[in-house]
Amino acid sequence: MRIFGKFAATALAGLIISISFASVTAQIRKDVFQPGEELVYNVKYGFVKLGTVVIQTGGISADGRASARLKFWTADVPFLDTKSTVTDVIDTKGLFLTQFTEKSQNGDNLTNKQMTYDLASKSLNYSDDKIKNKITTGIEPFSDALTLVYNMRSWSGAAGKSYKFPLRGKDGEKTVTVKFTNDFSKEAVPALDDKEVRTRILQGQADMGSSSPLGANGAFTVYVSDDAAAIPVRIDMSIAVGSISLVLEKVKRIDWTAAK
């Protein structure tokens, strides 16, 4: 079952960017970055808990760069033993990634990755346990999975629009397409004692390349609260049989009044 550990680290901390939003008006974008926000999700397959994902927003610097962190660990069940912490620095003006650090453990295997992106020179400096300070030039702004979450939240009001978001990893760039639908759903949210929240539905499709762990085809659905905070209350990712879901179990955000 280590294949699930790999899938979790890539699809949850790496599934679950930059594009020119020239056609998007300023009124559509939401200001979702709030220092101290913490979102805790249970990762489930049906009624079975597979793990926990925590997304935390840190401080925002004077030049508009926000720190953010994603932590994932598998549940205490046989054959699952994966832990991963991703720390990002995100340009909140352009909504792209400028720094990335990942520390992961899958069984006895430990992995460390680091990346710095410079917009002025459009260059990427990447290091991991085998590669040291590899510089690649000519790269347009991009994101990882965590930055994609903030992008989807920020642009969740772009009803009827469909955008392509380039994500970059060690194996190069892949594209995620997100359709910001005008469809709504009432979702019971465990973080709010199962009270129903009005959500806007986002439909996504990730390029999985030649790798499709657990039969994942890259399709996912995000249910985002239809309010200023635009909090994802549930994320469903399709696999060969059924789906793996991230369900919001705890939330810490100042003055959040969820849409009814």
Please report, in tens digits, the pLDDT of each residue of the chain (260 residues total): 333 444 444 444 444 333 333 334 445 899 999 999 999 999 999 889 999 999 999 999 999 999 999 999 999 877 788 999 999 999 999 999 999 999 999 888 999 999 999 999 999 999 999 999 999 999 999 999 999 999 999 999 999 999 999 998 766 788 999 999 999 999 999 999 999 999 999 999 988 665 555 556 789 999 999 999 999 999 999 887 778 999 999 999 999 999 99
Domains for the chain: give ranges and CATH numbers: 2-252 (2.40.360)
Would you say the C-alpha torsion 113, 84, 54, 160 has a positive or negative sign?
positive
Report the predicted TM-score, pTM, of the whole model to 2 decimal places. Answer: 0.87
